[in-house]
């Protein structure tokens, strides 16, 4: 077949499907998908012919087009990327990377039946929370614990259990919005609780809390300012003091800790963040936090606190709707167990390993990558080794940053620099394993904190494709 000038010259669908090269495609993708792809290609070609385009296409060409379509259709949408944004716990890139022990356990749990809700001692029905509850209590000092889908679910479930149709007192300065449309006031409404705001944006006093308590009050609540900081003329009431005011009136005190760390991060040379244990010790009756933020595990919401309150929470029918699956449980348990040995934690817990990477280590890595990257990008761009600062991310410690190293890339000529940078950014994003960096201050920044040595070869292998992209 040479030039096609009229649609009638195109082969029929059935005829194309019977061609030899189609066999392999039928094996891989099945007849239905192949038929759809061939129809689609023929329809597209037909419109091009009708539009007057000169087309030369053999049946093999048309099948090649169909193959492209099939490949695209069957390619996974959720793909691995390189997170070189400098934000370790990047919510849009899936937050915490799991430790190897968790990965192994997840693979096991997915491929074999497991005692998720089965008591192996006496052969009776169990509760999935039992798998991790004692471990969490040991690590936090809490009396009891229960697990739900994420921290947003944890807050919803706690409020719906303890404050349905009643009032919860929160400081104005803590009415936070977390990315992805989690707003404390909205969650509270959905939980059926009534928000009573006290204090002002920058200052809240003990008397504000005490003065707002009525017979309709169900609880006092503190929300950790995880993704912002209020500075200047400020005053907030400590967890211990809010707990004191609550307990004087026989009310529970709830803390939404957000990130929630199980360790004193200063012991690893990192900025201080209040721990779950400290919050429990300050007198909080219920504390909620995420599994995939500082904890470094799977997406989950962990609720810890007083035994009788946790028992009430577990009985709420919403718990059934918000519970986690076996894959989450499988990942959570070994992650928590790593905390039993602080000596190996920074090595085994992936997130902590990334937080504690030495700047000199990343600098050496940047120096190795400099020449090959410069060669791939050519003379239009300048690549430099540069110090930069990484963020912990996911709202943890919003104002603290970690000294880091990486590569800074900028156009050699100032002409249309903005457009050149945007194109560069999309070239990195178009790689087989997309690279996500950061555009800032007239440059494209690749922070190497999250590029561990074992992944470096795969990263470098893609450089030649930057040239052609």
Ligand X SMILES: *Cc1c(COP(=O)(O)O)cnc(C)c1O
Please give the residue ranges that form the binding site for ligand X (CB under 6 A). Answer: 150-152, 176, 178, 182, 223-224, 226, 256, 258-259, 290, 301, 395
CB nearer to ligand X: give 279 or 290. 290
CB nearer to ligand X: give 85 or 259. 259
Q: How far from 130 is each of 95, 329, 330, CA to CA, in Å?
A: 26, 10, 13
CB nearer to ligand X: give 193 or 362. 193
> Minimal distance in Å, beta carbon 176 to ligand X?
6
- Is the four-CA dihedral 126, 131, 135, 137 of positive or negative sign? negative
> Minimal distance in Å, beta carbon 395 to ligand X?
4
CB nearer to ligand X: give 62 or 184. 184
CB nearer to ligand X: give 16 or 147. 147
CB nearer to ligand X: give 38 or 257. 257
User: Which residues, at least 6 apart from 68, have a Cβ–Cβ distance to it below 8 Å?
Assistant: none
> Minimal distance in Å, beta carbon 296 to ligand X?
13
> Minimal distance in Å, beta carbon 335 to ligand X?
15
> Minimal distance in Å, beta carbon 287 to ligand X?
11
> Minimal distance in Å, beta carbon 263 to ligand X?
18
Q: How far is CA 400 from the centre of its chain?
A: 19
CB nearer to ligand X: give 92 or 380. 92
HSE of 371 in the Cβ direction (CA atoms, 13 Å)?
3
Q: Which residue has the tokens 């718990």?
A: 319
> Minimal distance in Å, beta carbon 396 to ligand X?
8
CB nearer to ligand X: give 199 or 393. 393
Nearest alpha-carbon partner for 37 in 16, 53, 6, 9:
16
> Minimal distance in Å, beta carbon 467 to ligand X?
39
CB nearer to ligand X: give 182 or 463. 182
Q: Which two tokens stand for residue 97?
A: 């990377």
Q: Which two tokens stand for residue 200?
A: 């002002």
> Minimal distance in Å, beta carbon 257 to ligand X?
7
CB nearer to ligand X: give 298 or 437. 298
Residue nearest to ligand X (CB): 258
CB nearer to ligand X: give 90 or 408. 90
> Minimal distance in Å, beta carbon 97 to ligand X?
16
> Minimal distance in Å, beta carbon 184 to ligand X?
7
> Minimal distance in Å, beta carbon 271 to ligand X?
16
CB nearer to ligand X: give 76 or 180. 180
The Cα–Cα gap between 43 and 16 comes to: 13
């Amino acid at each position: 077949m040479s030039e096609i000038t009229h649609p009638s010259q195109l082969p029929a669908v059935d005829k194309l499907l019977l061609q030899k090269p189609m066999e392999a495609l039928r094996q891989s993708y099945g007849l239905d998908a192949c038929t759809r792809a061939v129809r689609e290609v023929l329809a597209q070609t037909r419109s091009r012919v009708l539009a007057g385009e000169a087309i030369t296409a053999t049946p093999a060409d048309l099948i090649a087009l169909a193959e492209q379509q099939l490949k695209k259709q069957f390619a996974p949408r959720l793909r691995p990327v390189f997170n070189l944004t400098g934000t370790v716990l990047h919510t849009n890139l899936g937050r915490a990377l799991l430790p190897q022990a968790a990965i192994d356990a997840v693979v096991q749990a997915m491929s074999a039946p497991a005692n998720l809700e089965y008591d192996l001692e006496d052969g009776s029905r169990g509760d999935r929370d039992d798998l991790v509850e004692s471990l969490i209590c040991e690590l936090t000092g809490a009396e009891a614990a229960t697990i739900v889908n994420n921290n947003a679910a944890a807050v919803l479930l706690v409020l719906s259990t303890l404050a349905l149709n009643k009032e919860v007192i929160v400081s104005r300065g803590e009415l936070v919005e977390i990315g992805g449309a989690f707003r404390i006031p909205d969650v509270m409404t959905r939980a059926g609780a009534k928000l009573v705001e006290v204090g002002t944006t920058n200052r809240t006093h003990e008397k504000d809390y005490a003065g707002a308590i009525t017979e309709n009050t169900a609880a006092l609540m503190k929300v950790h300012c995880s993704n912002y900081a209020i500075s200047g003329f400020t005053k907030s009431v400590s967890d211990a003091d809010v707990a004191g005011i609550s307990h004087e009136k026989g009310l529970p005190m709830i803390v939404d800790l957000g990130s929630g760390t199980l360790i004193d991060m200063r012991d690893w040379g990192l900025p201080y963040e209040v721990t779950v244990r400290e919050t429990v010790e300050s007198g909080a009756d219920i504390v909620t936090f995420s599994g995939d933020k500082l904890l470094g595990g799977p997406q989950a919401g962990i609720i810890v606190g007083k035994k009788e309150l946790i028992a009430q929470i577990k009985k709420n029918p919403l718990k059934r709707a918000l519970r986690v699956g076996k894959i989450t449980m499988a990942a959570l348990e070994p992650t928590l167990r790593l905390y039993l040995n602080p000596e190996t934690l920074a090595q085994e817990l992936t997130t902590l390993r990334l937080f504690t990477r030495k700047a000199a280590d990343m600098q050496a890595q940047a120096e190795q990558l400099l020449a090959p990257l410069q060669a791939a990008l050519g003379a239009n761009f300048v690549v430099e080794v540069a110090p930069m600062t990484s963020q912990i991310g996911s709202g943890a410690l919003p104002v603290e940053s970690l000294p880091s190293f990486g590569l800074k890339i900028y156009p050699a000529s100032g002409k249309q620099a903005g457009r050149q940078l945007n194109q560069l950014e999309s070239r990195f994003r178009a790689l087989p394993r997309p690279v996500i960096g950061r555009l800032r201050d007239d440059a494209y920044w690749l922070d190497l904190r999250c590029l561990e040595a074992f992944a470096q070869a795969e990263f470098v292998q893609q450089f030649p494709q930057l040239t052609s992209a």
